[in-house]
Structure 1
Amino acid sequence: MRRTTVGILAVVTLLATAAPGEAAGLTRDPVAVVYDRDHALHVLNAGATDDELTLRTQTLASSAWAFFRGTSPLYYRDLGELPKSGYATAAGDVWLTGDAHLENTGADRGADNEEQFAINDTDDAWRGSWTWELRREAVSIVLAGRANGRSASQIATDVDTFVAEYAQWIAKFHGTGDEASWRLTSSTTSDLVGDLIDRSAGDKRADLVAKWTTGGHFKADPELQTVSSATRTQLVDAVAAYRTTAGRPLKTSEAVVKDVRRRTGAGTGSLGRFRWYVLVEGDTTSSSDDRILELKQEVDPAPKQLAPNATTLTGGQRPALALRWLANQSDPLAGWASVGSTPVLVKEKSPFAEDLEIGDLTSSAVWDDTVRDVGRLLAAAHSRADQDIPGTGLAYSADAAIDGAITSVSGLQSETRAFATSYADQVTADWHAYVAAKNSGRPLF
């Protein structure tokens, strides 16, 4: 395979020699950056989601991992000041998930009813450099490894394995065009990912319906809040408008709204946004096959600040279409609408979802297999959403562009490892600053 070394030593050295806790070149107060984002949500929602914003401050303060998960806008803001990758300029922009990290992957039932392991969050989907996403995933590997007590050398190996796997599969997709049909199923993976797929296969729709509902209505639950009659009307109207935007449009009989609630306490990065559950009629009139639709408020995605004009897609349409483009056999019910003036992404609350959790990464063998699988998922996602799919806006082969940009796998490994280690130090320092601000009573939204 064609690979040569490029001159990126200056970039790697600059990141690798940054002072502990300081990524080179950053000039910002991380608490102020996070405050600005969260205060904007407070204003946008007129204080109606302040309960969620309060929970968000507690979640962000709980660990460096949680802080990283919940502050993707800070990461992309920082990329604007940090040295660019030495591999970024040779490739055009591609579609990104926007918030790559280990826990934004999981097992679920595909649109063809086969269980698979896939990316599961496109709220921050946008077009930009593939290196932004590769680096963010690598930072997540470092932070998760530290949280799990892995040594520096083990973490370095994990990052190198992830980068090499990504580059290898980009080259494979460039050479074959298999990205359109490729996926991770029980027959193509093992260990933790295989276990998640097996658990997904054992899940039943009736169990999820019974967890949240009884007799065709939502149960009383502290995480499910009743809504006003006006909001209920808006949600009914939203489901009616959404019905035909789904990848598999719902029949009118499948979009009959039986009950609605505001869902609280879910997510990390999305805490502070409106999230509603809507119970709709299933394939039959029996309540056991009802579906729960999740309507999540959408705001500008984090990478947009680096490429404000990369696409004209907005609101819930952007993440819904991105999910179809980035993940093979993704949720066929993903679509979009507005609840009043609030744009929302609509997806089914899947009965079959089994998310990856970093606490499940219990051995080096499991780490190795998992970072390889995540590298493959990211390579497939970046390769899929290009000229081969109408509507993406890309008039070229994304995998060919990325493969052409990776002129040295070892060089990309070295650069990414240095960046991820340095930025993970920065995240930890930022988290400590956030905790100190919270403990001092500083307003955080």
Structure 2
Amino acid sequence: MTGSVAARIATGLAARKQVPLAAHAELPEGTGRPDPVEVLAGQDATRLPELVPIRYGRMLASPFAFFRGAAAVMAGDLAATPSSGLTCQLSGDAHVSNFGVFASPERRLVFDLNDFDETLPGPWEWDVKRLAASIAVAGRENGLGRKARAAAVRAATGRYRSAMNRFAGQGDLQVWYAQAGADEVEAMLKARADKTKQRRFARQQAKARTRDSLQAYRKLTSVVDGCRRITADPPLLVPVGHLVPDADREDLEFMVQDLLAGYATTLPADRRHLMNGFRFVDMARKVVGVGSVGTRCWIVLLYGRDENDPLLLQVKEAPRSVLADHLPGVLRPNHRSEGERVVTGQRLMQATGDIFLGWETAEGIDGLTRDFHVRQLRDWKGSAAVESMDAAGLRLYGTLCGWTLARAHARTGDRVAMAAYLDDGKVFDAALTEFAESYADRNEQDYRLVARAARAGRIEVRSGL
């Protein structure tokens, strides 16, 4: 960031004078806002038609599931809320289930944001408000009362605020190297003398460490005619051989090899060398997530030394960010592709990342060209069961997410100005608590509207998948 520390503090104070902290409690009236059914249907146009009903089925499982899939709906609502004018790189979808653990290149278990499909530079408040609202929505799902939900939201936003103040006093390198490893999380649990949560976290760590390419390989493949292939589990997992005639298999393999070769060029030289040692074996279309269902997502099986040295990559379509229509052009970087946008945002915001993270633009089996981002399918990846947390667990988890989000924002925004804007008081925490409850109300209303549209036959729903 340019300018003296004093000038940056002045920028934050001036922003607070223009947009007081209490203003962030506001959620503009829903009058005249787009119909959420139409917003979601607008995304369906570029998705695989046969998978779209699964998306609605997953979203209508609960109000929290709906919230997870309705990032496009909330993006429009956030654009109407007050903004300080201070920006940073946004996740774009910073709800509590988009945080989790995974392996660093040094084989250390770390906690961080793990979804960047919607990433773009924008107002930092948008990420914090989505996080706060997700806590309120999850708390309702868990049967927590209003006071318990408010305590969890205040814990998350207060931790975001205090962390940003601390990062504001640190040097650029110190902020860049900051990360939340499993050791730090364990220390936090010990400090709270919570033996039950310590044991639960230890079990989660152990489980996460088993979730690697070898585990996925054993679970997702089987021997067919003497060859190891990805096992069909339609419609959630469909080998590419089931999607195209046998006669096209050779052409398809050439296409995949070209895609992988192009993707490899987006990796650093050392990782490109590693990637070039693997050869293509099989490929399948996979249904992932909630809001992403219907976009094209592939898993690719490769072998290194032999079949006991597998690598499974996830090649996921990167559509335009849901934030793009709500941000001025000056904030939208001129990336060569949406895949590059996702990877660039992830590299900026994560403290450490997947060694195989890259992107490619490629022609699909339908002959159309699309953007993709690529990472390992599993590499010690794990996430918390937010929907089953008690009040203390949700509050503790919220503080961890709040710190993590602040660290990601501090890497890419003017942390000094942001800390000066936030102040060291609790006005912002109270404002976000009010906003979160108001948005949880709106989310339930939208959920009921979409459920009503399903009953009326406006949208097709396929549940239980």
Name the TM-score, length of structure 2 as normaliser: 0.82
> Do residues 425 (structure 1) and 445 (structure 2) align?
no
Q: Tell me what 2:219 maps to.
A: 211
State the one-letter code of the partner of 2:324: K
Could you tell me how far 1:254 is from its partner in structure 2?
2.9
Q: In 2, Cα distance between the equivalents of 1:76 and 1:375? A: 20
Change in 2 beyond 3 A, CA 1:273/1:165: same
SS in structure 1 at match of 2:375: strand
In the TM superposition, what whole-angstrom CA distance separates every residue of 1:152-200 from its partner, at most 9, and x where no partner exists?
0110111111111001111111111332112122210133655533432
SS in structure 1 at match of 2:182: coil
Aligned residues: 411
Percent identity between matched residues is 24
Q: In 2, Cα distance between the equivalents of 1:376 and 1:161? A: 10
Q: Is the 8 A contact 2:22 2:428 kept in 1?
A: no
Q: Is the 8 A contact 1:280 1:291 kept in 2?
A: yes
Could you tell me how far 1:110 is from its partner in structure 2?
0.9
Q: In 1, Cα distance between the equivalents of 2:25 and 2:315? A: 45
Q: 1:179 aligns with which of 168, 175, 180?
A: 175
Q: 2:407 aligns with which of 380, 390, 394?
A: 380
Q: Tell me what 1:142 maps to.
A: 136
Q: In 2, Cα distance between the equivalents of 1:350 and 1:129? A: 31
Q: 1:234 aligns with which of 227, 252, 255?
A: 255
Could you tell me how far 1:398 is from its partner in structure 2?
2.6
Q: Is the 8 A contact 1:293 1:347 kept in 2?
A: yes
Structure 2: give runs of 5+ residues left out of the alignment.
Answer: 1-8, 187-196, 364-368
State the one-letter code of the partner of 1:199: K
Q: Is the 8 A contact 1:242 1:336 kept in 2?
A: yes
> Do residues 267 (structure 1) and 289 (structure 2) align?
yes
Change in 2 beyond 3 A, CA 1:204/1:305: closer
Q: Tell me what 1:84 maps to.
A: 82
Could you tell me how far 1:14 is from its partner in structure 2?
5.1
- The structure that is helix-richer by fraction is 2
Q: In 2, Cα distance between the equivalents of 1:79 and 1:193? A: 34
Q: In 1, Cα distance between the equivalents of 2:419 and 2:22? A: 23
Q: Tell me what 1:278 maps to.
A: 300
Change in 2 beyond 3 A, CA 1:354/1:180: same
Q: 1:224 aligns with which of 221, 237, 243?
A: 237
Q: Tell me what 2:57 maps to.
A: 58
Q: Tell me what 1:359 maps to.
A: 387
State the one-letter code of the partner of 2:341: R
- 1:41-190 map, 5 Å: 41-42=46-47, 49-81=48-80, 83-85=81-83, 88-89=84-85, 91=86, 93-177=87-171, 178-190=174-186
Structure 1: give runs of 5+ residues left out of the alignment.
Answer: 43-48, 387-396
Q: Is the 8 A contact 2:213 2:312 kept in 1?
A: no
Could you tell me how far 1:232 is from its partner in structure 2?
4.0
- For structure 1, which segment, 252-261 or 120-129, has the greater mean C-alpha deviation from structure 2 after superposition? 252-261
Change in 2 beyond 3 A, CA 1:231/1:429: farther
State the one-letter code of the partner of 2:448: H
Q: Is the 8 A contact 2:422 2:428 kept in 1?
A: yes
Q: Is the 8 A contact 1:71 1:269 kept in 2?
A: yes
The alignment's C-alpha RMSD in Å is 2.4
Q: Tell me what 1:391 maps to.
A: none
SS in structure 2 at match of 1:288: coil
Change in 2 beyond 3 A, CA 1:304/1:14: closer
Q: Tell me what 2:324 maps to.
A: 304
Could you tell me how far 1:107 is from its partner in structure 2?
1.2
State the one-letter code of the partner of 2:344: L
Could you tell me how far 1:409 is from its partner in structure 2?
3.8
Q: In 1, Cα distance between the equivalents of 2:57 and 2:391? A: 31
Change in 2 beyond 3 A, CA 1:174/1:14: closer
Q: Tell me what 1:347 maps to.
A: 375
Could you tell me how far 1:13 is from its partner in structure 2?
6.9
> Do residues 294 (structure 1) and 314 (structure 2) align?
yes
Q: In 1, Cα distance between the equivalents of 2:31 and 2:420? A: 29
Q: Is the 8 A contact 1:108 1:115 kept in 2?
A: yes
Q: Is the 8 A contact 2:25 2:432 kept in 1?
A: no
Q: 2:452 aligns with which of 426, 436, 439?
A: 436
SS in structure 2 at match of 1:333: coil
Change in 2 beyond 3 A, CA 1:301/1:257: same
In the TM superposition, what whole-angstrom CA distance separates every residue of 1:90-145 from its partner, at most 9, and x where no partner exists?
x2x21011111111111111121111111111111111010000000001000000
State the one-letter code of the partner of 1:209: Y
Q: In 2, Cα distance between the equivalents of 1:305 and 1:219? A: 39
State the one-letter code of the partner of 2:98: N
Could you tell me how far 1:206 is from its partner in structure 2?
2.2
Name the TM-score, length of structure 1 as normaliser: 0.86
- For structure 1, which segment, 196-205 or 142-151, has the greater mean C-alpha deviation from structure 2 after superposition? 196-205
Q: In 2, Cα distance between the equivalents of 1:198 and 1:252? A: 27
SS in structure 1 at match of 2:254: helix
Q: Is the 8 A contact 2:142 2:388 kept in 1?
A: no
Q: Is the 8 A contact 2:176 2:351 kept in 1?
A: yes
Q: In 1, Cα distance between the equivalents of 2:384 and 2:296? A: 24
